[in-house]
Amino acid sequence: MGGMTEPTRPKTSSPYDVNSQPVPLSDCAACQKITAKREAARAEFDYSAVSDGTVMLRAHLRTAHDQ
């Protein structure tokens, strides 16, 4: 029993972990498309669309790039 010791974390972080931003792959068209939408939403201060884009990108990274 380790008291304050951090337990072993699963390989993928929680989809609601807002502290870690998903990183799009520069050579993936789908990553770039999602990122472009997210950046457009950010430019319009549409933060719910920004977070939708973050969730989409994270899900895409997990399914398409095994991250």
User: Whole-number minimum distance, CB 16 to Zn ion, in Å?
Assistant: 21
Angle at 19 between CA 7 and CA 43, to 5 degrees: 165
DSSP code for 57: H
Using CB under 5 A as the binding rule, whether residue 57 contacts Zn ion is answered as no
Q: Does 55 bind Zn ion (CB under 5 A)?
A: no
Least separation in angstroms between residue 65's CB and Zn ion is 6
Considering CB under 5 A, how many residues would be counted as binding Zn ion? 5
Please check whether residue 22 is in contact with residue 61, taking contact to mean a CB–CB distance below 8 angstroms.
Answer: yes
Quick one: angle between helices 29-43 and 47-65, nearest 10?
170
Question: Taking CB under 5 A as the rule, does residue 28 contact Zn ion?
Answer: yes
> Would you tell me which residues interact with Zn ion (CB under 5 A)?
25, 28, 30-31, 64
